Amino acid sequence: MPPDELSSPEYQGQRDSDLAHRSAFGGFVYLGFLAALWATTDYFSSHPALLAAITGISVACGAGRFLLGYRFERMYGRNPAAWRAAYSLVINLNALAWGLFLMATFLLYGYRDWKTLLLLICLAGTAPIALAALTPSPAVIRTFLIALTAPMIAANLYLGSTLNYTMALVFFWYLVFAAGHARVLHRQYVDYTLEKFALAAAKKSAEDANRAKSAFLANMGHELRTPMNAILGMTHLALNSPADSERRQYLLMVKSAGESLLAMLNRLLDFSKIEAGKIELEAVPFSVRRLSDETMQSLVAEARSKGIQLRSYVDASVPLRLQGDPLRLRQVMVNVVGNALKFTNQGEIESRISRIQDPATGVLLQFTVKDTGIGIAPEKQQSIFEAFEQADSSTTRKYGGTGLGLAISSRIVEMMGGRMWVESEPGRGSSFHWTARFAIASEKAAGGVQEGAKAVIPAAATPNLKILVAEDHAMSRQLLKKLLEMRGYLVVAVANGSEALRAMEQQVFDLVLMDIHMPELDGIGTAAEIRRREQGGKPVPIIAMTAESAESLRERYVTSGITEYFAKPIKPDRLFELIEKVYRGVNAAGMSGTA
């Protein structure tokens, strides 16, 4: 046993806590022996003082022991050494009193008296139980055993007959064996406790490492996506410039590979964000019917190309306007319906939404997506909801995928107060079900129902807008500049907030497009400074770009004067739409994120 570990406060605390919890009630065992003595013997009439004394000591020590055990956390927390001393005292004092009482009974009445025999039976029976209860502390066991047996050994040695020597030897033998056995029990206790500590430490470090990994990946999101966006953006540019057909073919392949790599990256990062607890759900008004229609609509072309029928039903009982996170709900729907499409080669896919129950507040909806696809083997129906799990590696090679979609979806659904499950028969098809809770949107909020992630109304380009772009990443900056110039805007691009402020001193811009994460002066600081310098004059619209969950930063954006924000990765068409919208002052009064 490593001695330093045994002297650690952590081990000692555990040991004393175990000692208290195992043995606090043990003090009461003596009360049973006393009752037998009072009720069935003439002890009280022949030696009342002795019986009263042992009764008093037993009751006091038993109560003290119970109290010290019952209030362990509080008393031990205040002074561990004092608790230990007090507990040891009440146990040993009691044991010593009973050792002496047995000796006195033996001296007064001899071996042949029933009272002596009764006490011998009681104490010999109690000692092994006490050994088990006192196992955490070898010191207490040792003193307990000695206190109980030493008076009898001493008295027998003192009396000196053959019978007495024999009895002294029997008691001594008993003491040796009990102490030996106590040692074995104690060693097992130490091994078990240290192993428990080692396991707890290993578990904690594994959890810490997992959390650190998830946090690292979540933070890396920005770094990983930026070059990916640049690759895709540059390909977009190259495809828009004259190129011979062979080169164009290669570029189209680069584009498609880049897009699927970005999609996988997004899933991986999304999952690590969920694991790291970095995702918060929005609560905005939306219509679940429109969300369902739009989601199914977006998958119609793919279904048609496979010759599969898509049907979607929303029960009449589903409220028109709900409050929740439409983006995340759509993500779950796209994933489950997308899977159904992926794993179905003929037949149909049916999506149904119904209201199953009204919790105390809001509504609980059940979503079902039923397909006539390849189905899932019963033993895999549970594991597919875990990260990186796929039902069959051969189908994976055929159909592709990361094994993260359902893990992400089921966690999102849990965050929405629901759960996800599957019923499936291999060869016949699967039904994925999930539930989710929503609040019912108030009439006022319903006025501005946000239809999921629907992009803003496309508007005609306003050419010759003068746009200031602030972005620290050189490739992204160049890409943005090129994209905006292709659209017909006049662009000045700078690398950070300070340069942006300098540029604004020299020229007037119609709009500022700016990254949030920049060295020196970041987007939020720059926006605040721009607003300060305007001093109530006509405000220039500022669009912030961010790779983080913009929702969590909404408040900071509003207070720093940012007009709109745009979630990376950059999708050119959406960015153009947002610029037009912001410039024309549509919705200029409020914030509405575009992801």
Q: Indicate which single residue of 376, 491, 547, 562 sits in contact with ligand ADP (rule: CB under 6 A).
A: 376
Q: Please identify, using beta-carbon distances, which residue of 371 and 529 lies nearer to ligand ADP.
A: 371
Q: How far apart are alpha carbons 234 and 236 in whole angstroms?
A: 5
Q: Is 392 in the site for ligand ADP (CB under 6 A)?
A: yes
**Is position 332 an interface residue for ligand ADP (rule: CB under 6 A)?**
no
- Given a contact cutoff of 8 angstroms between Cβ atoms, the answer to whether 511 and 467 are in contact is yes
Query: Cβ closer to ligand ADP: 138 or 401?
Result: 401
Contact between 69 and 20 under an 8 Å Cβ cutoff? The reply is: yes
Out of 80, 138, 347, 403, which residue is the one contacting ligand ADP (CB under 6 A)? 403
CB 583 within 8 A of CB 510: yes
Whichever of 131 and 340 has its CB closer to ligand ADP, that residue is 340
The span of 62-70, 117-125, 339-347, 516-524 binding ligand ADP (CB under 6 A) equals 339-347
Which residue's CB atom is positioned nearest to ligand ADP? 401
Distance CA 471, CA 575 (A): 15
Q: Does 137 bind ligand ADP (CB under 6 A)?
A: no
End-to-end CA distance of the chain: 59
| Stretch of 34-42, 129-137, 312-320, 370-378 contacting ligand ADP, by CB under 6 A | 370-378
Q: Report the site for ligand ADP in 422-461 (rule: CB under 6 A).
A: 430
Point out which span in 20-28, 374-382, 434-442, 551-559 binds ligand ADP (CB under 6 A). 374-382
Q: And the tokens for 129? A: 């139980």
Residues 40-79 that bind ligand ADP (CB under 6 A): none
- Decide if residue 391 touches ligand ADP (CB under 6 A): yes
- The H or E element spanning position 424 is strand 420-425
DSSP letter at 380? G
Q: Are 237 and 479 in contact (CB under 8 A)?
A: yes
Per CB under 6 A, 410 contacts ligand ADP: no
Q: Is 343 in the site for ligand ADP (CB under 6 A)?
A: yes
Interface residue with ligand ADP among 90, 102, 190, 340 (CB under 6 A) is 340
Q: State the minimum distance, in angstroms, from the CB of residue 26 to ligand ADP.
A: 55
- The answer to whether residue 396 forms part of the interface with ligand ADP (CB under 6 A) is yes
DSSP assignment letter at 458? P
Size of the site for ligand ADP (CB under 6 A): 23
Least spacing, CB of residue 330 vs ligand ADP, in Å: 15
Segment interacting with ligand ADP, rule: CB under 6 A, options 47-55, 359-367, 395-403, 514-522: 395-403
Cβ atoms of 111 and 94 within 8 Å: the answer is no
CA atoms within 13 A on the CB side of 76: 21
| Beta-carbon contacts of residue 3 (< 8 Å; ≥ 6 apart) | none
Residue choice 17, 116, 402, 462 for contact with ligand ADP (CB under 6 A):
402
- In angstroms, what is the minimal distance from the CB of 375 to ligand ADP? 6
Is residue 523 involved in binding ligand ADP (CB under 6 A)? no
**Which residues touch 317 (CB under 8 Å, ≥6 apart)?**
354, 355
Residue with smaller CB distance to ligand ADP, 432 or 566: 432
Cα separation, 538 vs 590, whole angstroms:
17
Q: For residues 387 and 406, is the Cβ–Cβ distance under 8 A?
A: no
Half-sphere exposure of 544 (CA within 13 A, CB side): 31
DSSP string, 93-137: HHHHHHHHHHHHHHHHH-TTSHHHHHHHHHHHHHHHHHHHHTTT-
Instruction: Rule CB under 6 A: say whether 116 interacts with ligand ADP.
Output: no
Using the contact rule CB under 6 A, the part of the chain among 160-168, 323-331, 397-405, 577-585 near ligand ADP is 397-405
**Least Å from the CB of residue 382 to ligand ADP:** 11
Nearby residues of 548 by Cβ (< 8 Å), 6 or more positions away: 221, 222, 516
- CB hemisphere CA count around 123 (13 angstroms): 27
Per CB under 6 A, which region of 78-86, 318-326, 383-391, 436-444 contacts ligand ADP?
Answer: 383-391
Among 80, 138, 362, 401, binds ligand ADP (CB under 6 A): 401
Q: Tell me the closest approach of the beta carbon of residue 307 to ligand ADP, in angstroms.
A: 17
Place of tokens 């809001």: 362
Write out the DSSP string of 273-292: HHHTT------EEE-HHHHH
Strands (E), 471-572: 490-494, 511-515, 542-546, 564-567
Residue in 582, 509, 510 with CA at minimum distance from that of residue 545:
582
Which is it for the CA torsion 197, 202, 207, 213, positive or negative?
positive
Position 350 contacts ligand ADP (CB under 6 A):
no
406 binding ligand ADP? (CB under 6 A): yes
Minimum distance from CB of 398 to ligand ADP (Å)? 10
**Binder of ligand ADP out of 373, 418, 452, 523 (CB under 6 A):** 373
Does 269 sit near ligand ADP (CB under 6 A)? no
Q: For residue 425, what is the enclosing H or E element?
A: strand 420-425
> Closer to ligand ADP at the Cβ: 260 or 507?
260
Q: Is residue 299 a contact residue for ligand ADP (CB under 6 A)? A: no
Residues interacting with ligand ADP, by CB under 6 A? 335, 339-340, 343, 371, 373-376, 384, 390-392, 395-396, 401-407, 430
